[in-house]
Amino acid sequence: MRPSRGQVLFTAAAGCLVVLAPQLAMAAEAAAPAAVVPWQATVGKAIGASFAMAMSALAAAYAQAKIGSAGAGTLAERPEVATTLIVLQALPEIIALLGFAIAFMIIGA
Amino acid sequence: MRRPRATDVEVDRSHDYGYCNARIRGMWSHLLDRGSLEQLVDAETLDAQIRYLSGTPYKADIEEALIYGHTVASVDRALRANVGRTWLVVLKILPEQGVGLVKAVLANWDIFDLKTILRGAHTQLSQAEIIDSLMPAATLSAAELSELAAAGSVRSVVDTLATWRMPYSRPLDAALPEYHRNGELAPLELALDRWYYSSVAARLQHRHDAGKRLVASVVGTMVDIENLRTAFRLIGAELTTAAIAEYWLEGGAHISQPSFVSLCEAADIEGILNAMRRTPYAKTLEAAAVTYLQEGSLSVLERALENLTTREVLAARRLDPLGVGVVVAFLWAKQNEVSNIRIAVTGRSVGLPEERMRRELILV
């Protein structure tokens, strides 16, 4: 199904935030004296990390909803493929894990 | 008052084909494969065939129908029950935007059944004889088909449809005076075909998706094939050009009215084959022409064209894998499977040679 214009704009805006927020934080950190970490850097990192986590979690949820819906259809006719479907259902968790790793890297930067 | 019908069922529908198509693909995996149909043809008696079918997804329906005896009619009853239930499931799980297209495709079998009933009523066949020739349809229930088959005359069939406020009654009613004048069924059948193809075109008019393109292409092929069938039958008929043009069905993909007229004016089958050389049907027709020349029966060519339609529709699964194409292809595959089973079972019961049965099957 084609995504709506709103969905595309939301995804683009969120993507920009994910990319730009850590850079803003790092820029703020570089501009500040070495000894004191400015509050803007901490907030920037937090925003970047939270967006990385949130977006990846949303993406994983969307993928799992699609797979779950198709999986339910398949299970109704072929219950013998349940194990395969559980594996497929779990696959998008990788997206959330990657988001978590990126969030961790942002916080630790 | 109009009776509520199975297709009136309203359910909460998703707009996503994910669930529907995954389930349809699951149902597809239960269809009998080529090997199973071969085994069914090879079974030596009707009882052996029934035993074999009892080991397939038709088991529950066969067991239920066997209380009426181990007969071909019982197998038919089981097949009809199975198909009717399958259509209901498909219509329930279908996303809203696909319902119209799928109902339009299903109506194709209603038209087939109505033509069969009209022919039966015209030739004064018994209710049982007519019912034996019907296909399981979706919008007309088994009880309705049975009542129509018992109508006794063409006029009564049309009146019964009008009483039920079925849309099919309008074109039939309009063509009835001509039927009474000439005593020929052709105007009624033509009116039904015209109504069906124009109603499909009307449904497609306001859509702009892959489903529209797919169904339009399938319907275009079906119209062409119907026009070709008419052309085969009109060979040698001494009709005027205007009279021939009356038989042309609009909406075909490759056969325009002038080319239809020139096809019908051909002196023989070879003339038609030559005229069709530049169309996608040439290969199929040429392959079937050899058998036609040996047997001299038009049914060989008609069977080849049916085979071609089935292949075209089944290809829809690949052309529109995430949309309504999978559903349309499944409906056709299921109906084709039922036809094949009926050929095997009826063929065995009337002592048809296995070779002949195999030739009649449409294996895709």
Q: Is the overall model pTM greater than 0.95, yes or no?
A: no
Q: What proportion of chain B, given as a percentage, has pLDDT over 90?
A: 37
Q: Is residue B307 part of a domain?
A: yes
Q: Which one, of B80, B137, B78, lies nearest residue B103 by Cα?
A: B137
Q: Note the ipTM here.
A: 0.70
Instruction: Give the best residue of B14, B16, B17, B23 to mutate against chain A (max A CB count within 10 A).
Output: B23
With beta carbons under 8 A apart, name residues in chain B contacting A71.
Answer: 22
Q: Residue B133, class by beta-carbon neighbours within 10 Å (0-12 exposed, 13-18 middle, 19+ buried)?
A: middle
Contacts A–B by Cβ distance under 8 A: 38
Q: Is residue B1 part of a domain?
A: no
- Together in a domain, B193 and B216: no
For residue range B284-332, list pLDDT tens digits in order.
888 888 888 888 788 888 888 888 888 888 887 888 888 888 999 999 9
Q: Is residue B53 part of a domain?
A: yes
Q: Do B14 and A72 touch (CB under 8 A)?
A: no
Q: Do B21 and A73 touch (CB under 8 A)?
A: yes
With beta carbons under 8 A apart, name residues in chain A contacting B14.
Answer: 69
Q: Is A71 at the interface with chain B, CB within 8 A? A: yes
pLDDT above 90 (res B253) = no
H-assigned helices in chain B: 17-28, 34-42, 46-53, 59-65, 72-93, 96-122, 127-132, 142-149, 154-163, 169-182, 186-205, 210-233, 241-246, 257-264, 269-275, 282-295, 298-314, 316-319, 325-349, 354-360
pLDDT at A2: 54
pLDDT above 80 (res B7) = no
Question: Which domains does chain A show, CATH number per domain?
Answer: 5-108 (1.20.20)
> B30 to chain A, minimum CA–CA distance in Å?
9
Residue type, B109: W
pLDDT above 80 (res A14) = no
Alpha-carbon distance of A57 to A99, in angstroms, equals: 7
With beta carbons under 8 A apart, name residues in chain A contacting B27.
Answer: 77
Instruction: Give the best residue of B16, B19, B86, B209 to mutate against chain A (max A CB count within 10 A).
Output: B19
Sign of CA dihedral A36, A39, A40, A43: positive
- Together in a domain, B176 and B272: no
pLDDT at B11: 45
- Together in a domain, B191 and B219: no
> A10 to chain B, minimum CA–CA distance in Å?
21
> B96 to chain A, minimum CA–CA distance in Å?
14
Alpha-carbon distance of A102 to A21, in angstroms, equals: 13
Cα distances from B101 to residues A34, B19, B61, B209, in angstroms, run: 68, 18, 28, 11
Question: Do the Cβ atoms of B301 and B232 come closer than 8 Å?
Answer: yes
Which chain A residue shows the shortest CA-CA distance from B23?
A73
- Together in a domain, B257 and B301: yes
**Which of B15, B20, B29 lies nearest to residue A73, judging by beta carbons?**
B20
Cα-Cα-Cα-Cα torsion B293, B297, B298, B303, nearest 10 degrees, comes to: -100
pLDDT at B236: 75
CATH code, B119: 1.20.1690
Number of domains in chain B: 3
With bands split at pLDDT 50, 70 and 90, how would you rate the model's confidence at A3?
low
- Together in a domain, B122 and B214: no
- Together in a domain, B82 and B32: yes
CATH code, B256: 1.20.1690.10
State mean pLDDT over B141-155: 89
B37: containing domain:
19-93+338-363
| Residue B134: DSSP 8-state | P
pLDDT at B4: 45
Question: For chain A, where are the E strands, in sequence order?
Answer: none
Q: Is A1 at the interface with chain B, CB within 8 A? A: yes
